[in-house]
């Protein structure tokens, strides 16, 4: 059995911030890519567009990847994550439907409380990771990965039809909203200027519908993929560019792309589906401490100024502090098993 663990490389361990299989420059010969509502906005702000999970997204802007990463840690950055699949699960049997597909206890979620959960197959392998929120509006709000869009949607739709055929009250609606992530220690301060709600009453993994900088009908969820305090804002398409523009007027905010998103989530010890977890990984294996055996994700950490990675090793080598030899470009380098996360998280919770 292998256990998922984390490592900090001591010598010469150079890893790419974006997995080559998931991110590459655009070319005419490649597939037709989907565009988010902010595509032209990205180009106007110097976004370098790449292909990611079937979408054209900015990998970075005029600032370097490292500068963008560190700005997020010290101030806050705005990410376009509109490629994520957003769905509503409707009906009085919505919880029954979702609990038949995920490992989480959805029935125990309080109104407007969310949880990270997993779609799994019959063998216990992870089909995708997702966030499920029990909204006070009478539906479940689900956000899952763009790379798993088709299979996630088919999974949920098949279960809806199955339960409907049993006379159950369930339904599914795909949201075409844009999704913006404002991440960093000053994110709440920036957002507070544009909302009437008191964000001090919105702790980590809770959400509320509110008007944001004049755009009504936005769902603001206190969560993110960087380890920092921040929010994800589901915003009607017509208001997406207005909202992004309003946020950028604050000098605390800079645009950030996929490169910074990947190194930030790796420092925070957050898995990337398809790299660190997949259908051959069980939830138990995927939730244990991280290090190298097989490298699944890795990059130079701008915050630590060291190289970090996630991966798998046999259980007997998974204890923190264990020294390992890692093969990098046919050369062996020293690394050490580390506890996760590499950089402490700074989520906002009620004291």
Give the C-alpha separation, 49 to 45, whole Å: 11
Where does residue 345 rank: exposed (0-12), middle (13-18), buried (19+ CB within 10 A)?
middle
CB neighbour list of residue 165: distance below 8 Å, 6 or more residues apart: none
Outline where 110-173 has alpha helix (H).
Answer: 149-165
Give the C-alpha separation, 174 to 259, whole Å: 28
| DSSP calls for 80-105 | E-TTSEEEEEESTTHHHHHHTTBSS-
Distances in Å between the Cα of 83 and the Cα atoms of 7, 75, 192 are 30, 24, 25
Distances in Å between the Cα of 110 and the Cα atoms of 136, 142, 169, 224, 311 are 9, 15, 21, 20, 34
Give the C-alpha separation, 63 to 118, whole Å: 35
Give the C-alpha separation, 337 to 111, whole Å: 39
Closest C-alpha among 129, 158, 134, 124 to residue 146: 129
Give the C-alpha separation, 183 to 284, whole Å: 28
Structure tokens at 125: 């392998």
Query: What are the strands, taking DSSP E only, across 92-241?
Result: 113-120, 126-134, 140-144, 171-174, 178-183, 207-212, 215-221, 230-235
Beta carbons of 42 and 58 less than 8 angstroms apart: yes
Distances in Å between the Cα of 176 and the Cα atoms of 37, 140, 242 are 10, 16, 17
Could you give the angle at which helices 65-74 and 258-267 cross, rounded to 10 degrees? 50
Answer yes or no: is 150 a known binding residue.
Answer: no
Detail the residues annotated as belonging to a binding site.
232
Could you list the residues known to form a binding site for substrate, using ranges: 232
């Amino acid at each position: 059995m292998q256990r998922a663990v984390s490592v900090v490389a001591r010598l010469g361990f150079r890893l790419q911030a974006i997995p080559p299989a998931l991110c590459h420059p655009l070319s005419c010969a490649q597939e037709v890519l989907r565009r988010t509502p902010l595509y032209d906005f990205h180009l106007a702000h110097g976004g370098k567009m790449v292909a990611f999970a079937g979408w054209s997204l900015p990998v970075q802007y005029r600032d370097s990847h490292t500068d963008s990463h560190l700005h997020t840690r010290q101030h806050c950055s705005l990410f376009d994550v509109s490629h994520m699949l957003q769905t509503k699960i409707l009906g009085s049997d919505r919880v029954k439907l979702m609990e038949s597909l995920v490992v989480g206890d959805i029935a125990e979620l309080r109104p407007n409380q969310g949880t990270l959960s997993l779609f799994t197959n019959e063998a216990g392998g992870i089909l995708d990771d997702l966030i499920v929120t029990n909204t006070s509006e009478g539906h479940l709000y689900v956000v899952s990965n763009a790379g798993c869009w088709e299979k996630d949607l088919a999974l949920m739709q098949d279960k809806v039809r199955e339960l409907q055929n049993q006379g159950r009250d369930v339904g599914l609606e795909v949201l075409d909203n844009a999704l913006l992530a404002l991440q960093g220690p000053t994110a709440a301060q920036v957002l507070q200027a544009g909302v009437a709600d008191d964000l001090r009453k919105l702790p980590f993994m809770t959400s509320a519908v509110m008007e944001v900088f004049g755009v009504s009908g936005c769902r603001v969820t206190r969560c993110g993929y960087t380890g920092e305090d921040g929010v994800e804002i589901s915003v009607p398409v017509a208001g997406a560019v207005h909202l992004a523009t309003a946020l950028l007027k604050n000098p605390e905010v800079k645009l950030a792309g996929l490169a910074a998103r990947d190194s930030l989530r790796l420092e925070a010890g957050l898995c990337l589906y398809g790299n660190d977890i997949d259908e051959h990984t069980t939830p138990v294996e995927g939730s244990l401490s991280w290090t190298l055996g097989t490298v699944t994700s890795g990059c130079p950490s701008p915050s630590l100024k060291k190289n970090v990675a996630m991966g798998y090793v046999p259980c007997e080598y998974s204890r923190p502090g264990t020294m390992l030899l890692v093969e990098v470009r046919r050369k062996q380098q020293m690394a050490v098993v580390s506890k996760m996360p590499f950089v402490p998280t700074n989520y906002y919770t009620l004291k």
